[in-house]
């Protein structure tokens, strides 16, 4: 049962353009969502998060949008840079119920073309 | 070093053997997680420690898997009677507080069971 889904395994974007990575979830108890970035042979690194009480969180070039009714979140990267090329994972947890088990999606490989 | 350290970085073993994987978290971090990542998949939750105790071990696939954190710092993931399906990258992460999602991952231990 895949509770967190990233349906696009890969995405290619031109440098300077917007990258949009999508994530869907099924568990309505999830109340905290995160994006992680992973380079080859390295562990994932935290990028940005959002609580379910918000619908948007912005940090520099990265913005995460949350649509609770659709159980959907997206990560926008503007402008995209070649160094953004990596695998991006979304993750979710049900913090208010005391569950700190973060469930990850299968990842989307982003390639930013120079 | 300042980050999460995992040893060994690579382990090749034969089916049926016993394996131990070690994680040295960031100093002072009370929360420690073990995840497993197979090829083309996202990190799969195994177990989460808060201090010395396993707060959530619901992700351990069966009783061949066991993890300890006796002094609330270093953790060891133990796999008995290894099977070929156990081959994966085992990721450890730590966090100063479990409820922010900012997990700091190590580079992982790649386990290959022949």
pLDDT tens-digit profile of A83-94?
A: 999 999 999 988
Asked if the peptide bond before residue A2 counts as cis, ω within 30 degrees of 0, the response is no
- pLDDT value at position B97? 67
pLDDT band of A95, cuts 50, 70, 90: confident
Instruction: Give residue A110's Cα distance to chain centre.
Output: 12
Q: For B42, name the nearest residue in chain A, comparing CA atoms only.
A: A106
Q: Which of A78, A68, A80 is nearest to A23 (CA)?
A: A68
Phi/psi-derived region of residue B51, left when phi > 0, alpha when psi is between -120 and 50, beta in every other case = left
What are the residues of chain B with a beta carbon less than 8 Å away from any beta carbon of chain A?
A: 4, 31, 33, 35, 40-45, 48, 50, 55-56, 58-59, 91, 93, 98-108
Closest approach of A102 to chain B, Cα-based (Å): 7
For chain B, give the mean pLDDT: 93
Nearest to B99 among A41, A95, A107 (CB): A95
* A34 contact B CB<8A: yes
Nearest to B106 among A9, A43, A101 (CB): A43
Interface of A with B in 71-110 (CB under 8 A): 89, 91, 93, 95, 99-107
Cβ contact (<8 Å) for B45 and A101? Answer: yes
Average pLDDT over residues A110-114: 96
Burial B75-93 (b: 16+ CB within 10 A, else e): bebebeebeeebbbbbbbb
CA B20 to CA B11: how far, in whole Å?
Answer: 10
CB B22 within 8 A of CB B106: no
CB B19 within 8 A of CB B110: no
CB A9 within 8 A of CB A109: yes
Average pLDDT over residues B79-93: 97
Beta strands in B1-114 (DSSP E): 5-7, 10-13, 19-24, 31-37, 44-50, 53-56, 65-68, 75-79, 88-95, 104-105, 109-113
Closest approach of B91 to chain A, Cα-based (Å): 7
Q: Is the pLDDT at B83 greater than 60, yes or no?
A: yes
- pLDDT value at position B86? 97
Q: Is the pLDDT at B1 greater than 80, yes or no?
A: no
Cα Rg of chain B, angstroms: 13
- pLDDT value at position A99? 65
Interface size A-B, in CB pairs within 8 Å, comes to: 62
Lowest mean pLDDT: which of A8-17, A23-32, A83-92, B48-57?
B48-57
pLDDT band of A45, cuts 50, 70, 90: very high
Closest approach of A101 to chain B, Cα-based (Å): 7
Cβ contact (<8 Å) for A106 and B40? Answer: yes
Chain A residues near residue B103 by CB distance under 8 angstroms: 44, 46, 102
Average pLDDT over residues B88-94: 96
Cα Rg of chain A, angstroms: 14
Q: Is the pLDDT at B98 greater than 70, yes or no?
A: no
For chain A, give the mean pLDDT: 93
Question: What is each CA distance from A107 to A4, A92, B90, in whole angstroms?
Answer: 10, 13, 17
CB B82 within 8 A of CB B20: no
């Amino acid at each position: 049962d895949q509770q967190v889904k990233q349906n696009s395994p890969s995405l290619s974007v031109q440098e300077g353009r917007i990258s949009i990575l999508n994530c869907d979830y099924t568990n309505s108890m999830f109340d905290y969502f995160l994006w992680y970035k992973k380079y080859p042979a390295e562990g994932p690194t935290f990028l940005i998060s959002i609580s379910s009480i918000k619908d948007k969180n912005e940090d520099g070039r990265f913005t995460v949008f949350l649509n609770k009714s659709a159980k959907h979140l997206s990560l926008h990267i503007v402008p995209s840079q070649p160094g953004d090329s990596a695998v991006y994972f979304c993750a979710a947890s049900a913090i208010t119920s005391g569950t700190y088990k973060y469930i990850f999606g299968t990842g989307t490989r982003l390639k930013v073309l120079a | 070093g300042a980050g999460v350290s995992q040893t060994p970085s690579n382990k090749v073993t034969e089916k049926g053997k016993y394996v131990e994987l070690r994680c040295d978290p960031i100093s002072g971090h009370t929360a420690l997680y073990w995840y497993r990542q197979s090829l083309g998949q996202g990190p799969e939750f195994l177990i989460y420690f808060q201090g010395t105790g396993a707060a959530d071990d619901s992700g351990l696939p069966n009783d061949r898997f066991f993890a300890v954190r006796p002094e609330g710092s270093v953790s060891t993931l133990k796999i008995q009677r290894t099977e070929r399906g156990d081959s994966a990258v085992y990721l450890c992460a730590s966090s100063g507080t479990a409820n922010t999602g900012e997990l700091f991952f190590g580079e992982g231990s790649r386990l290959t069971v022949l």
